[in-house]
Structure 1
Amino acid sequence: MKSNYNKLLILGAVLSALAVLLHIGCIIFGAPWYRVFGAGEDMAQMAEAGSNQPALITFIVAVILGVWSLYALAGAGVIRRLPLLRTALCLITAVYLIRGVAALPFMYQLSENSPLFWLVSSGICLFFGVVHLIGLRQVWQKLK
Structure 2
Amino acid sequence: MHDSTRPWIALAAAIAVVGALVHVAAIPAGPAWYAYFGAPPSVVASARAGTWLAPVGAVAIGLLMATCGWYAGAALGIVRRPPLLRTGLAAMAAVCLPRALMLVPLAVTHPELRTTFQVVAAVLWGLAGAGFALGCARVHRQRRVPRRAAA
C-alpha contact 1:104 1:118 (8 A) present in aligned 2: no
Question: What amino acid maps onto 1:36 in structure 2?
Answer: Y
For residues 143 and 28 of structure 1, the distance between their equivalents in structure 2, rounded to whole angstroms, comes to 43
Aligned counterparts, 1:1-144, within 5 A: 6-107=6-107, 114-116=113-115, 117-143=117-143
Question: What amino acid maps onto 1:99 in structure 2?
Answer: R
Name the TM-score, length of structure 2 as normaliser: 0.79
Change (3 A) 1:49 1:126: same
- How many angstroms does 1:137 deviate by? 3.0
Residue range with higher mean Cα deviation, 81-90 or 122-131 = 122-131
C-alpha contact 1:71 1:82 (8 A) present in aligned 2: yes
For residues 24 and 51 of structure 2, the distance between their equivalents in structure 1, rounded to whole angstroms, comes to 16
C-alpha contact 2:15 2:124 (8 A) present in aligned 1: no
C-alpha contact 2:93 2:129 (8 A) present in aligned 1: yes
C-alpha contact 1:86 1:143 (8 A) present in aligned 2: no
- How many angstroms does 1:93 deviate by? 1.3
> Residue 79 of structure 1: SS of its match in structure 2?
coil
C-alpha contact 2:89 2:135 (8 A) present in aligned 1: no
C-alpha contact 1:6 1:139 (8 A) present in aligned 2: no
Change (3 A) 1:67 1:143: farther
For residues 80 and 43 of structure 1, the distance between their equivalents in structure 2, rounded to whole angstroms, comes to 34
| Ranges in structure 2 where 5+ consecutive residues have no aligned partner | 145-151
Residue range with higher mean Cα deviation, 114-123 or 74-83 = 114-123
Change (3 A) 1:118 1:143: farther
Give aligned-pair identity as a percent.
26
> Residue 42 of structure 1: SS of its match in structure 2?
helix
